[in-house]
Amino acid sequence: MTTAEKVSRRKLSLLDLAGELSNVSRACKIMGYSRQQFYEIRRNYQTYGSAGLIDRLPGARGPHPNRVDEAVEVAILDHCLAKPGHGPLRVAQELALKGVQVSSGGVRGVWSRHNLLTKHERLLRLEKSVREQPFELSDEQIRALERFSPEFRERHIETKHTGDLVAVDTFFVGSLKGVGKIYLQSVIDCYSRYAWGRLYTNKLPLTAVHVLNEDVLPFFEEHNARISTILSDNGREFCGRPDNHPYELFLQLEEIEHRTTKVRRPQSNGFVERLHKT
């Protein structure tokens, strides 16, 4: 009988004696173990069976002894892209069904090393992966990205050149004492992502016209380009009767087509949303 087997049998005898006496302290005193050692031995035996009773000699350990295997880490990262909304416990449970054993703590460790601890960071990683190397997305991934990324929602809008589509919006900045409400009139070219903005104390058609007339159109003229289409929400500063609304009349005068987002869905103007980070 080897030394390891002798130690293993002695530990098993300790557990048996504690059961017979129904007294842990007395059994430990007889066998020469501490109570702490007893509970550790019992825990190992309950978890690993007889193999848990074998003493393991300390050996050389790597710089990260608790790091999961590379194959497990790859599985965690793959699942993170497939199901970015799953938390660490759910990921561990889902991987266990596939035969990959890892704790929720192990999942968090991998996420921490790859800057994926938050759902926001995991969705950013998914969006970046799709942009860099397009692949077929599941319906669940598409829904998650559309909720997360306004620009992804507008992926079906293709622009061929600068000025092909220009998005506009009014953004409430806040209130200043003695001034009142402050609004940002923002404009972005959907092809080049070049943007303009001006602050106003109201959100009227005249201010929406002003930023176009003073900043945007002169820029396009300077670069020998023109705006073909403007995309806005259905706000009153942009929309009204074509025959008497200042903004509508200005666009007609400049021969610019006016398109609007879906009713009650201002977030479908994804380019401006991305600019505002709303």
- Residue 264: its pLDDT value, please? 52
Contact 104/88 with Cβ under 8 angstroms?
Answer: yes
For 187-222, what is each residue's pLDDT tens digit?
Answer: 999 888 889 999 999 999 999 999 999 999 999 999
* Highest mean pLDDT pick, 32-41, 176-185, 264-273: 176-185
Residue 166: in which H helix or E strand, if any?
A: strand 166-176
Identify whether residues 32 and 133 lie together within a single domain: no
Give domain status of residue 157, yes or no: no
Q: The domain containing residue 104 runs over which residues?
A: 70-148
Does residue 189 form part of some domain? yes
Q: What is the Cα–Cα distance from 147 to 108, expressed in whole angstroms?
A: 24
- The verdict on 230 and 270 lying in the same domain is yes
Instruction: Assess whether 194 and 272 both reside in one domain.
Output: yes
Q: Is residue 60 part of a domain?
A: no
Q: Of 120, 148, 176, which marks where a domain is finished?
A: 148
Place of tokens 């929602």: 153
User: Lowest-confidence range among 16-20, 53-57, 258-262?
Assistant: 53-57
Q: How far apart are CA 180 and CA 201, in angstroms?
A: 7
Q: Is residue 160 part of a domain?
A: no
Total number of domains in the chain: 3
User: Do both 89 and 144 map to the same domain?
Assistant: yes
Residue 252's domain is classified under what CATH number? 3.30.420.10
Q: Are residues 194 and 267 in the same domain?
A: yes
For residues 30-54, one letter each, b for 16 or more C-beta atoms within 10 angstroms of the residue's C-beta and e for the rest, the string is ebebeeeebeebbebbeeeeeebbe
* Domain-embedded: residue 235: yes
Predicted pLDDT at 238? 93
The least confident of 16-20, 54-58, 107-111, 187-191 is 54-58
Is residue 64 one of the residues assigned to a domain?
no
Q: Are residues 177 and 251 in the same domain?
A: yes
pLDDT at 154: 56
Q: Tell me which of 250 and 19 has the higher pLDDT.
A: 250
Q: Please report whether residue 115 resides in a domain.
A: yes
Indicate if 229 and 261 belong to the same structural domain. Answer: yes
Domain closes at, from 96, 118, 148:
148
136-158 pLDDT, tens digit per residue, is 777 777 677 667 665 565 555 56
The answer as to whether 106 is a domain residue is yes
Start-to-end Cα distance in the chain? 71
Q: Are residues 218 and 268 in the same domain?
A: yes
- Greater model confidence, 238 or 137: 238
pLDDT digits (tens, 9 = 90+) for 15-31: 888 888 888 888 888 88
Domain boundary residue among 148, 183, 202?
148
Same-domain status, 141 and 171: no
Asked whether the beta carbons of 54 and 8 are under 8 A apart, the reply is yes
Instruction: Please state, for a pLDDT cut of 90, what percent of the chain lies above it.
Output: 31
